[in-house]
Amino acid sequence: MDFFRGHATASALGLFVIARYLSDFPEGRTEESLRESLQMLKPRGAGSDDSGPVLSASLAVGQGVRILERDQASGRWRLTPDLCGVVAGDGDRWSTFRGELLRRIAAHGVEEVELGRKSPDLVVALTWFLQQDPLKPIPTTWNAPTEPLVRSGTLGAVDRSEQWRPFQRWAVALGLARRADTGSAKVLIPDATTAIADQLTSMPAYGSAKEWLSRLQDRLPILGSATLLSALPTGGPDWSELPPGLMLGLRKLESLGALKLEASDDASDVVTVGLASSARQIGCITVLRGADV
């Protein structure tokens, strides 16, 4: 299932709205009922009946990544049973849902590769994007140098401006990128800080850096797993199993007091964390607290 071809209007926030609504209806709701109830999904400035494209695309994506399921007989849409506890309840459930959504999107990408099929365009593009240098962010406009860089790096997963825009929306919404202004240019920076923070409650409180990062990649294979790296172009850059976007996220979470990155006397069991001259050898990682990012 591709995200940018046929489902370009789908969004992470749209899926969250749908999931929160369906958590109150275990018996499910038809698409027509959802369209009537979820008018907030219509695009700005559109007529009252224009929530359809966003809703239909988001439902299809939700089914593809196993967040939603549709009963063929009744046509009713429901949350998958294991998602009810993720979105139900009081308080801010967005970060919990966002982390689970990213985990399922990444898992879907791995499954497709392992079955010998093409990984979804969003998964390929995110895996490639996190390999880019945060110190050399990518302009958000679809022209040189962005267009040839993205086209070649993603093997055509993103090859038009109509796909570049939803890619940016997904990357930011899932906590893998942030936008910034550099002078007169707007840029997109690979930064997994929020995505990592969303997983901290499911991560070991303490572990060797290699083991801890392996567990993180098990949950989010987009962060440098060999399986997803195999879907990227060959013959060019050497792809890293510890991509720069991940390194930036770890260092920022350390600065926020959420993680402790400790050196080790055992030189055989360390990883290099950081960017350029700020890189250092880390042997252990400790989760100190959650991070509001």
Q: What is the pLDDT of residue 93?
A: 86
pLDDT for res 51: 55
Within the chain, strands assigned E span: 29-30, 68-70, 76-79, 138-139, 177-182, 185-190, 206-208, 259-262, 271-273, 280-282, 284-287
pLDDT of residue 290: 67
What is this structure's pTM?
0.91
Q: pLDDT tens digits for 222-262?
A: 999 999 999 999 877 789 999 999 999 999 999 999 999 99
DSSP string, 197-259: HHHGGGS-SEEEHHHHHHHHHHH-TTTT-HHHHTTS-SSSS---SS-HHHHHHHHHHHHTTSE
The tokens of 213 are what? 């990062």
Q: What is the pLDDT of residue 181?
A: 84
Q: At what angle do helices 94-114 and 12-22 cross, to 10 degrees?
A: 110
Query: Nearest 10 degrees: CA dihedral of 13, 11, 217, 140?
Result: -110
**Does residue 126 have a pLDDT over 80?**
yes
